Chains A and B, each alone.
Chain A
Amino acid sequence: MADKKKKGKVTAAFKAIGADIKDIGTTFAQGDWKTRLSFLIMGFGSFTRKQFVRGFAYLGTEVLFILYMVLFGAKYLKDIGTLGTVKGGYDANYVYTYGDNSFLILLYSILSIFIIIAFLFIWRINVRDNRNNQNKLSVPSNKDDLKSLLDERFDKTLLALPMAGVFLFVLLPIVFMICIAFTNYDATHQSPTNLFTWVGFENFKNLVSLKTGGFGHTFGTILTWTLIWAFFATFLNYFLGMAVAILINKKGIKFKKMWRTILVMTIAIPQFISLLYVGKMFAADGLVNTYLMKWGWIKEAIPFWTNPTLARITILFINLWVGIPYVMLITTGLLMNIPEELYESAKIDGANAFQTFRKITLPYMLFVTGPYLLTSFTGNLNNFNIIFLLNQGKPQSLELTGGAGYTDLLVTWLYKMTVNDTNYKMAAVIGIMVFVVTAVISLVVYNILPSVKDEEGFQ
């Protein structure tokens, strides 16, 4: 069923492209000479209609595009198949000659491909613009064009900069790193002195390989812990946070604002201070251990950060300290939205506090905060700060490859691969895995969320 739907979408897309090409053909066949010339010299038609703003925009795009490709893009794009063949180094006379730089070739090739696509898109707009305007008596003047950018086409003005930013600093790097996952770019293949090249699915095989040197075992351990962590971090915080909110909301409790403010302190104070400090508190020579020893409660320091299981539990506990206030803030207002009559009638029917919570409060809260739970879960999958600032993923172990420790999440492992091991290819593979995990969970959960299925449910 889903497959059929997908197929339908693909065919529809191809049909649309086909229709578009046909449309370009008919435009050329039926167009006047100005339109036809605009196919080659972009914006020509606009100039003849005195639409100089559009004309210069089209022509400028074309000139810049050609200049870019000739002077810059083409020389990188031609090497994309090999990512460079000439190695830099010293010749017989000890003169250094620069070779190909695989990093630059890959990056600028991707950029060039994007620029080509964008150019084709603008060229298409240029063609359509000419066809639409060639037989019209009155066309929008320059002033109208500029004015419309603040009115009907205000979205273009608003989105131009944000979209350019996302393109250059998010999309381009992501595509680049996805490509890196299919190369052998690592410590021994660093540009500019060494070349790297395409290796196909080699790195993905390595990630799941259980042989010596393979990442399979470590990947399994870390992925399991990441999922367990995200589950407990989300739901423990959720239920305990809600409990605290209910406690503060309770009738007869005074200074409600004060209690909330005390809790909110952990949000207010930058995490890099609070988490680093708390991490140190639980160290072997930290306050907690030294005081327990001084009071004679323990003989040796409790290995909060060096015992794998204990480290994981400690992190989950400290995460409560960070996470409960968020949930408390979110749920406080929502809890007050539940109609009082529901509780009163439940009371008359003889329900106890736990029953009312399970039958009234919980279903309502789960319904309303479903989206929050999902974003919180995916956020926890990637909760870099808490792991890294508390104990950097320790304890490390020789059983784990790639410098990983037992509390490492996939993201902190990715970070270690990038910074400590400069194993960029594996870092890229792990990044893709993080994406896959996040996307799969989001999709599955999103489709079973009650608030998505049934928007009117509780209204």
Chain B
Amino acid sequence: MAKQHNMRTRKKVGNAVAYTVLILISIIWLFPFVCLVLQSFRSYITEVGGMVDYLVPKKFSLDSYKFLFSGETKFLKWYGNTLIIAVFVAIGQTAFVLCVSYALSRMRFKGREFLMRFWLILGMFPGFLTMICLYFLLKQFGLTQAGAVPGLILISVASSGMGYYVCKGYFDTIPKSLDEAARIDGATRAQVFFGMIIPLSKPIIIYTALTAFMAPWCDYVFASYVAFGNDNGYNVAVAMQRWVWTNDFQGYFTRFCAGGVLVAIPVTVLFLCLQKYYVEGVTGGAVKG
């Protein structure tokens, strides 16, 4: 009896400790985001737009948000650019990845092993190595500066075939006997692919599209190189980093925060809604490598 009682208190203490740690972790994890939102409501007109030594604004104002929509900068254009890039990259990459994964998972052809090994080796080169060459290639097609948006889409989609690992791993788990049964019934490979494999792969399609959609929002390096100072070709990351780094934009910090909130909201909501598929994708990818 006493022992049981002892066990119960130990359990209670253990849980209390666990809750304390979890609450602490949650505070640390959410603190920067709370700060970001709070600072975005500080006016750059009546207060200070730059860095200050207090967190909660003296008076809540929407000035920073108004600035973004006022047309003083091309914020809406940059936002639109990023959205267009993200949507097209998500569609294109998913299509490419599905095609490659099906071919590598289901079909046995000459050079298959070689192709897989070769792409693996290519993937070990850092992406930024080829920046100048890619810039030049895009320039040949007129897809730099003002034309940076289609250029960035082209580059992201064209190289996406190499990122087939997670999707192929998923296809490998769909029993081959299903394919064979359909083929005995007279279905062609294409019919099997479109009619059977794709409908069965909803989780992995969502995972691929989601990760592809989220990447362009963070693409600063290559995007700024391709846009080359032409602000019609900027995406939000390229445009807004100036408000944080450059000294001329000292007073733009709250406007950066406001812009950041506007970018974060749709991406975060989308991610949280599709979280389930994301977890499935990363877990599968981690185990199979």
B68 adjacent to chain A (CB < 8 Å): no
Q: How many residues on the A side are at the interface (Cβ–Cβ under 8 A)? A: 96
B130 adjacent to chain A (CB < 8 Å): yes
- The reply to whether A371 and B217 form a contact with Cβ atoms under 8 Å apart is no
Q: How many residues on the B side are at the interface (Cβ–Cβ under 8 A)? A: 87
Instruction: Give chain A interface residues in 168-203, CB to chain B under 8 Å.
Output: 168-174, 176-177
Contact of B253 among A280, A321, A439 (CB under 8 A): A280
- The reply to whether B126 and A414 form a contact with Cβ atoms under 8 Å apart is yes
- The reply to whether B264 and A269 form a contact with Cβ atoms under 8 Å apart is yes
Interface flags for B120-142 (1: CB within 8 Å of A; 0: not) read: 01101111111111101100000
- The reply to whether B159 and A428 form a contact with Cβ atoms under 8 Å apart is no
Q: A165-B161, A268-B271, A439-B121 are in contact. Are A247 and B35 (CB under 8 A)?
A: no
Contact of B33 among A274, A374, A439 (CB under 8 A): A274
- The reply to whether A415 and B128 form a contact with Cβ atoms under 8 Å apart is yes
Q: Main secondary structure on chain A at its contact with chain B? A: helix
Instruction: Give chain A interface residues in 153-170, CB to chain B under 8 Å.
Output: 154-159, 161-166, 168-170
Q: A280-B244, A419-B225 are in contact. Are A173 and B22 (CB under 8 A)?
A: no
Q: How far is the CB of B126 from chain A (nearest CB, A)?
A: 5
Q: How far is the CB of B110 from chain A (nearest CB, A)?
A: 10
Interface segment, A61-69, A128-136, A257-265, A355-363?
A: A257-265
- The reply to whether B51 and A418 form a contact with Cβ atoms under 8 Å apart is no
Q: Which residue of A lies closest to B107 (CB)?
A: A155
Instruction: Give chain A interface residues in 360-385, CB to chain B under 8 Å.
Output: 368-372, 374-375, 378, 382, 384-385
Interface flags for B42-55 (1: CB within 8 Å of A; 0: not) read: 00000000011111
Q: A277-B257, A334-B283 are in contact. Are A155 and B121 (CB under 8 A)?
A: no
B237 adjacent to chain A (CB < 8 Å): yes
B103 adjacent to chain A (CB < 8 Å): yes
Q: Main secondary structure on chain B at its contact with chain A? A: helix
Interface flags for B96-107 (1: CB within 8 Å of A; 0: not) read: 100110110001
Interface flags for A265-282 (1: CB within 8 Å of B; 0: not) read: 111111111101110110
Q: A177-B129, A269-B267 are in contact. Are A330 and B286 (CB under 8 A)?
A: yes
- The reply to whether A269 and B268 form a contact with Cβ atoms under 8 Å apart is yes
- The reply to whether B100 and A268 form a contact with Cβ atoms under 8 Å apart is no
- The reply to whether B53 and A166 form a contact with Cβ atoms under 8 Å apart is no
Residues of A whose CB lies within 8 Å of any CB of B are: 103, 107, 147, 150-152, 154-159, 161-166, 168-174, 176-177, 244, 247-248, 250, 252-253, 259, 261-274, 276-278, 280-281, 283, 285-287, 290-291, 293-294, 321, 326, 329-330, 332-334, 368-372, 374-375, 378, 382, 384-385, 388-389, 410-411, 414-415, 418-419, 424, 427-428, 431, 434-435, 438-439, 442
Top-8 shortest CB links A-B: A371-B289, A162-B161, A165-B158, A431-B129, A173-B130, A290-B53, A372-B286, A154-B189
Supply 23 A–B pairs (Cβ within 8 Å), ascending by A. Answer: A158-B102, A159-B103, A159-B161, A163-B161, A165-B157, A165-B158, A169-B137, A169-B159, A170-B122, A170-B130, A172-B137, A173-B129, A173-B130, A247-B21, A265-B30, A269-B264, A272-B220, A280-B253, A287-B55, A291-B53, A291-B55, A369-B287, A384-B128
Sample of 13 more A-B contacts, CB < 8 Å, known A103-B136, A172-B133, A371-B286? A173-B137, A177-B129, A250-B14, A252-B11, A262-B25, A283-B51, A285-B53, A329-B279, A368-B287, A374-B289, A382-B126, A389-B220, A435-B126
